[in-house]
Amino acid sequence: MIDISLLICTRNRSRSLAATLASIDAAARHPGSGAIELILVDNGSTDATAAVIRHWAIDRPFTVRLLSEPVPGLARARNRALRAARGRIVAMTDDDCVLHRDYFAHMARAFAGQPAPSSSAGVSCVAIPLT
C-alpha cells in the first residue's frame, strides 16, 4: 500500500526541475518516509519537461507516474493527479519547491493516527520555493 502520494503539476520546467526532483528523492530515502508515490502531471509543456521526468524516474526506489493534462490550467492538472493518487495521504507541492529531507517522515508521523484518506496542502507541507 502507498502511504503518501505527492502530486506535482508542471509546465515548461525542463531547466529548473532538477532541484525539486533531487529533493523529492532525498526525502523519499529518509528513514520513516514510508511507501511514496510521486505523481507528476505535465500540463501541456512545449519543452523537454516530460523527457526530463522520464529520464530521472528510471532508477527511483519509489513509484513515479508521469501523467499528461494537455488543457492548460492548474485546477485541471491537479484534478488529473488526484484521480490517479493511491496513497493514504495525498500531498501537493509546486514544481519550483525544494522539500526538506524529512518532509515525508514528518507527514507520515503527523497523519499516523488519522483515518484514511488524508490530504495536505499549503502551510502544512514545508517546502522551500526556489526563486
| Residue range 8-22, pLDDT digits in tens | 999 999 999 999 999
Q: What is the pTM of this model?
A: 0.87
Beta bridge pairs of residue 9: 41
Higher pLDDT, 110 or 128: 110
Q: How far is CA 59 from CA 3, 23, 46, 56, 62, in A?
A: 20, 15, 25, 7, 9
Least confident of 36-40, 52-56, 82-86, 116-120: 116-120
What was the pLDDT predicted at 131? Answer: 40
DSSP 8-state secondary structure symbol assigned to residue 48:
S
What was the pLDDT predicted at 127? Answer: 45
Q: What average pLDDT does range 98-126 have in this prediction?
A: 75
Residue 117: asked if its preceding bond is cis (omega within 30°), the reply is: yes
Query: What are the grid coordinates assigned to 16, written together?
Result: 529548473
Q: Give the confidence band of 121 by pLDDT, cuts at 50, 70, 90.
A: low
Question: Is 1 within 8 Å of 88 (Cβ atoms)?
Answer: yes
